Amino acid sequence: MVVAEDLQCLKSIALMGGMDGPVSISTQKLGAELGISPQTASRRLISLEGQGLISRTIRPDGQFVTITATGEEELRTEYAAYQRIFEEGEQAYQLQGELISGLGEGRYYVSIAGYVDQFRERLGIDPFPGTFNVRLSPASVETRRKLAGLDWTAIEGFTDHDRTFGGAKGLRCTIAGYDCAIIVPGRSHYPDDIIEIISGTGLRRALELKDGDPVTIEVKRE
């Protein structure tokens, strides 16, 4: 868990432009922004780097800092928490994309008891063999990033027959009224515009879809 002081430092770096790429930041400037000494600011940067929330490069013209994807997700999680505090009622997110074929791994992984049992118990889904894969539109890629701060369900890693299987996280959603869940492996190999979905129904057949057909995914936040 990121401590409050580090999170405040991460926010300041973002406001200085660190979300957009390498930004020149001195410990004196950062310390002044946070109301702390340059030495303490240096320790904050070291801590953020150690947690993988920023990357740093030292050049002859100064120190350049970039917020990593992990750091961005941490900020989005904090943002979503404030949304839950100040926004009332239910909020729905809608993702638009097109159906694509996966790499064939989904059918294998959703057949493994260690995963299937957790999908049933934690997500309420007895998964159909295989995953439903969607390539998101550019606008929906940004919407997907907002989902990082929602309450995802942890899928624990486990060992079976001397083989270790990694953890994942799942988020309930619906497609055309069918209950589904977005699954993100702990070590995802897919780019940001691709998502994997499990469902208790073979959605391709039930919805008569083929690769390239439009798909709408709805995620509700209470």
Neighbours of 93 (CB within 10 A): 17
Residue-wise pLDDT tens digits, 36-70: 999 999 999 999 999 999 999 988 888 999 999 88
- Distance, in Å, from the CA atom of 215 to the CA atom of 186, rounded to the nearest integer, reads 25
Q: Which of 24-38, 42-56, 113-127, 150-164 has the lowest mean pLDDT?
A: 150-164
Model confidence band, residue 74 (pLDDT cutoffs 50, 70, 90): confident
| CATH number belonging to domain 4-80 | 1.10.10.10
Would you state the structure tokens that stand for residue 1, as one six-digit string?
Answer: 């868990």
Examine the pLDDT at 20 and tell me if it is beyond 90. no
User: Across all residues in the chain, what is the average pLDDT?
Assistant: 89
Mean pLDDT of 110-135: 93
Domain locations along the chain: 4-80, 91-221
Examine the pLDDT at 222 and tell me if it is beyond 60. no
Examine the pLDDT at 86 and tell me if it is beyond 90. no
**Model pLDDT, residue 163:** 86
**Model pLDDT, residue 111:** 84
pTM of the model: 0.66
- Distance, in Å, from the CA atom of 207 to the CA atom of 85, rounded to the nearest integer, reads 37
Model confidence band, residue 2 (pLDDT cutoffs 50, 70, 90): confident
Any idea of the CA torsion for 121, 123, 126, 132, to the nearest 10 degrees? -150
Domain 91-221 class?
A: mainly beta
Model confidence band, residue 220 (pLDDT cutoffs 50, 70, 90): confident
Quick one: which of 126, 113, 103 has its CA closest to 178?
A: 126
